[in-house]
Amino acid sequence: MLASTTARATLRRHRNFRGGALWCFHFRGGNVGCRRRESSRRCLKLGAAMAKSKFEYVRDFEADDTCLAHCWVVVRLDGRNFHRFAEKHNFTKPNDSRALHLMTKCAQTVMEELEDIVIAYGQSDEYSFVFKRKSNWFKRRARIFPTSIWLLLILITDLQTVVFATAECFDGRVVVYPSNQTLKDYLSWRQADCHINNLYNTVFWALVQQSGLTPIQAQERLQGTLTADKNEILFSEFNINYNNEPLMYRKGTVLIWQKVDEVTTKEVRLPAEMEGKKMVVTRTRTKAVPLHCDIIGDAFWKEHPEILDEDS
Ligand SMILES: [Mg+2]
């Protein structure tokens, strides 16, 4: 019976209301076909009734989480239980360059997948991604932003077969900034945080690793110290000039779009006399480039005015 019905069914192409293709099953003649057609009509009626059922009011409980239009949207992914993770993977203290480079590599790939990101900033176990003012990515739904970046990050790290991101490693938040100044202040805040934490960690681990203090003793030694005091401990006791520490550790990493010349070798087929020969081809591409520089002062923003361009 069913087989006979299926045999009578045909698949026809219609146009939906936007003019796109819409494929529907149609049943031809016979009692079975008629019954099926009536059954389809009943289903359609039931579907329409369910769409407007008395239960539909529950949709009113869904909060509107659309990010305010024309504002900068910042998504920050931040390490969660990262101490445990760092211990497990034997991270070098106070900074593990492998982990920092890997974070940046992942962030670069995220930017290249999501072109609406105009700038990203990373330090320690966090990365902030800034979306264009006019971005309409996922209709600017706040809860979708970190989730989708997070999923992308998992995909990237899985593809690179690096066991870096696990479901417990990061949490994400979205903050909307209404002006260029508030956005610059946000990024300055994260870079100042990088400096404060890195200076503390550099002295702390020098005291532990080189002076043999326990973590609690080192913590007590540093309690109440100012920036100048920490610099002095580093210089007088460990012969370390903090200003000579790598920029990546002191300033974090900024990712911005820049034109980069890529040089590749290509086999030439024509003309015949050059067949089989390889030649060097230079192609200019726009890529997410990592910089380790100051973003608190005006110099960076004057040098890269396109980042805060009103049309972005
Ligand atoms: Mg953190």
247 within some domain: yes
Residue 304 in domain? no
For helices 215-222 and 180-209, give the axis angle rounded to 10 degrees: 120
* 38: in domain: no
- How many A from CA of 79 to the centre of ligand 1? 5
Is position 2 within any domain?
no
Residue 135 per-residue DSSP state: -
Res 154: pLDDT: 65
Q: Is residue 277 part of a domain?
A: no
Q: How far apart are CA 271 and CA 19, in angstroms?
A: 48
Question: In terms of Cα–Cα distance, which of 150, 78, 72, 86 is closest to 118?
Answer: 72
Please say if the pLDDT value at position 10 is more than 60. no
Neighbours of ion ligand 1 (CB under 5 A): 78-79, 125-126
3-class state of residue 219 by DSSP: helix
Collapse the DSSP code of 119 into the 3-class scheme (helix H, G, I; strand E, B; otherwise coil) and give the result: strand
Which residue spans within 232-311 are E strands per DSSP?
253-267, 278-291
Q: Tokens 């899985």 correspond to what residue?
A: 158
Task: State the distance between the two ends of the chain, measured CA to CA, in whole angstroms.
Answer: 61
Give the range of the structural domain holding residue 167, as residue numbers without chain letter. 72-253
Inside any domain, residue 62: no
Structure confidence by residue, pLDDT tens digits, 120-167: 999 998 999 999 999 988 788 887 777 777 666 666 665 444 545 554
CA of 294 to the centre of ligand 1 (A): 20
| pTM score, whole prediction | 0.75
Average pLDDT of span 66-85: 86
What domain count does the chain have?
1
Q: Is residue 161 part of a domain?
A: yes
Whether 81 has a binding-site annotation, put simply, is yes
pLDDT, tens digit, 9 for 90 and up, residues 258-301: 999 888 777 666 666 666 677 788 888 899 999 999 999 999 99
Distance 200 CA to ligand 1 centre (A): 15
State the distance from the centre of ligand 1 to the C-alpha of 309, rounded, in angstroms.
Answer: 29
From the CB of residue 266, how many other CB atoms can be counted at a distance below 10 Å?
11
Sign of the dihedral defined by the CA atoms of residues 152, 155, 157, 159, in that order? negative
Q: What CA–CA distance (Å, rounded) separates 219 from 216?
A: 5
Give the CATH number of the domain where residue 87 resides: 3.30.70.3000
- Quick check: is 53 in a domain? no
**Better-predicted residue by pLDDT, 35 or 160:** 160
